[in-house]
Amino acid sequence: MYSQFFNNEASANIRSLLSKEVCEVLLKIGCFADKKSLRVFAVGGFVRDLILNKANFDIDIVVEGDAKSFVTELASEFNAEFKIFDRFHTAKIYSEKINFDFSSSRKETYKCPGALPEVTFSNIYDDLFRRDFTINAMALSLNSDNLFKIVDYFGGIKDLEASVIKVMHKKSFEDDPTRLYRALRFAHRFGFKLEEETNYLFKQAIKDKRVSSLSVKRIASEISKIFKEDMPETIIEELTKNKMLKHFAHNVRIPPLEPLGVEDILSADLEAIYWIYFLSQMPPTFKSETIDQLGLPHSSRVKVLDGLDAFKKIPAALEELTCHDHIKLYYLLKKHCIEGLLALSYFKLNKTNSEKIIYYLKNLRLIAPVINGKDLIDCNIPAGQHIKNILNYITELRLENKSLSKLEELEIAKQLYANIQHKNPS
Ligand code: CTP
């Protein structure tokens, strides 16, 4: 099936799979490396996805040499934006659509299981050998003498052909137990199986409780990646089955997500939605400080905390309302982020209550006066709490389906302010 990557036309065949944009940049990187007499390769997931003919705009580049000075000079030649990460000897070049991460080829030694490895500079062979699975341990040569030739020392193409996930060596899961999660994730994503010995090593690592050496942050980071996959519920079920949810409740499950018909207009943060439901299932002994250790980006963390609050407060309150109670529905739900409301609708509420949320999201959420505070101040209404009250009153009129022009809103506002003054003359 993949013999086209080894015949005489291999380079041309690879080239035909690259988008024009990606191809141009890879050629530039290769030419630049030629000038510097350095070997340079695209590696890892990008090469795997290229062979599978799947788009991937996260490109890892390995330089046999100092990646930091390579990137500094490359970026200055092409006037590109870049950032050096001194601690990891890596660098990033920013382009509009493609992410380029550069590192020096290196060898990793694990002093103790689950900890981060010790790193020494080495060649491409060692750099590929330190990786998780054979399908992720291939490189694409970018130098002109071997342009677009696949470097496959460990049978990655054969394993792609056989649809298997195979570890590079016996100690892989022991060295880095996050690979247990990655194995399940890639198997699910590509519809692959764990290769026989890998499956044995997987089970052995579970039996030996290798997962227990991982911090909450490292496990959470793997769960976050799982939430980004299609139908993550299947992988979460595997994690539950294999007791891989240390720090969390062991019996968490996520039901399949049935689209509600509002997703397109909301562009919600799906990862936050999954986290909200996932964490809503934690037992009372679960410490809320653990949420701070998940390593979620700040914006997602805020949504998750708000969503968990919505899970406590909204279900009972919704029981008392119908879709016709526009004003009450609006004030109840407006306080919460859409991720919390969607998590409730997807996973928690019955159909009737879920429909109330969908009704709010579709019809009420964006209702607001046409006028704003500045319009009121321009009409000589001084700043103060009454501005908010006036705008709320007009919002409520709109929620009651009154159609109002801007002029009508201004008239109502002036009238309201006159009434307020009349009641509380200063
Ligand atoms: N890698 C590894 N062991 C890990 C994590 C990463 O060996 N625990 C290596 C793999 O070679 C992987 C590469 O680093 O291909 C990049 O890691 P990452 O970006 O996490 O993986 P991708 O394979 O690019 O996966 P995805 O398609 O999910 O981005």
- With the most atoms of ligand 1 within 8 angstroms of its CB, the residue from 43, 57, 131 to mutate is 131
Ligand 1 proximity of 136 Cβ (cutoff 6 Å):
yes
Q: Is there an atom of ligand 1 within 6 Å of 117 CB?
A: no
Interval between CA 102 and ligand 1 midpoint (Å): 14
Mutate to test the pocket of ligand 1, among 132, 135, 167 (most ligand atoms within 8 A of CB): 132
User: For atom 29 of ligand 1, which residue has the closest CA?
Assistant: 45
- Fill in the DSSP letter of residue 116: P
Nearest-CA residue for atom 3 of ligand 1: 132
**Angle at alpha carbon of residue 62, lines to 60 and 68, rounded to 5°:** 100
Q: Which of 253, 418, 272, 261 is nearest to 343 (CA)?
A: 272
For domain 163-245, which CATH number applies: 3.30.200.20, 3.30.420.310, 1.10.110.30, 2.160.10.10?
A: 1.10.110.30
Q: How far is the CA of 186 from the centre of ligand 1 (A)?
A: 10
Q: With 90 as the cut, is the pLDDT of residue 246 above it? A: no
pLDDT score for 207: 96
Whether 369 lines ligand 1, by a CB cut-off of 6 Å, is no
pLDDT recorded at residue 78: 81
Interval 63-111: pLDDT, tens: 999 999 999 999 888 888 888 887 777 888 887 788 999 999 999 887 7
Whether the pLDDT of residue 317 is over 80: the answer is yes
Q: 113 near 36, Cβ under 8 Å?
A: no
What share of the chain has pLDDT > 90, as a percent?
69
DSSP notation for 361-392: IIIITT---SS-HHHHHHTTPPSSHHHHHHHH
% the chain with pLDDT above 70: 97
Q: Residue 2: which pLDDT band, with cuts at 50, 70 and 90? A: confident
Sorted by where each begins, the domain ranges of the chain are: 2-162, 163-245, 257-364, 373-423
- What's the CATH architecture for 2-162? 2-Layer Sandwich (3.30)
Residue 265, pLDDT score: 64
10 pLDDT more than 80: no
**CB burial of residue 83 (10 Å; 0-12, 13-18, 19+):** exposed
244 has pLDDT over 90: yes
* Cα–ligand 1 centroid distance for 296 (angstroms): 19
Please indicate whether residue 222, judged by its CB atom, sits closer than 6 Å to ligand 1: no
Average pLDDT, the chain: 91
* Model pLDDT, residue 327: 96
Side by side, which strands form the sheet with 40-43? 81-85, 90-94, 99-104, 58-63, 40-43, 139-141, 150-151
The more confident residue out of 338 and 257 is 338
Q: What is the pLDDT of residue 51?
A: 94
Distance CA 316, CA 321 (A): 10
Q: Which of 50-54, 114-118, 332-336 has the lowest mean pLDDT?
A: 114-118
Is the pLDDT confidence value at 290 over 80?
Answer: yes
401 sits in the region (left: phi over 0; alpha: psi -120 to 50; else beta) called left
The DSSP symbol for 98 reads -
pLDDT digits (tens, 9 = 90+) for 349-384: 999 999 999 999 999 999 999 999 898 888 888 888
Q: For ligand 1, what atom is nearest to the CA of residue 56?
A: 27
| Ligand 1 lined by 44 (C-beta under 6 Å) | yes
Q: State yes or no: pLDDT of 116 exceeds 80.
A: no
Q: Is the pLDDT of residue 165 over 90?
A: yes
Higher pLDDT, 118 or 407: 407
How far apart are the CA of 12 and the centre of ligand 1, in A?
26
Q: Is the pLDDT of residue 162 over 70?
A: yes
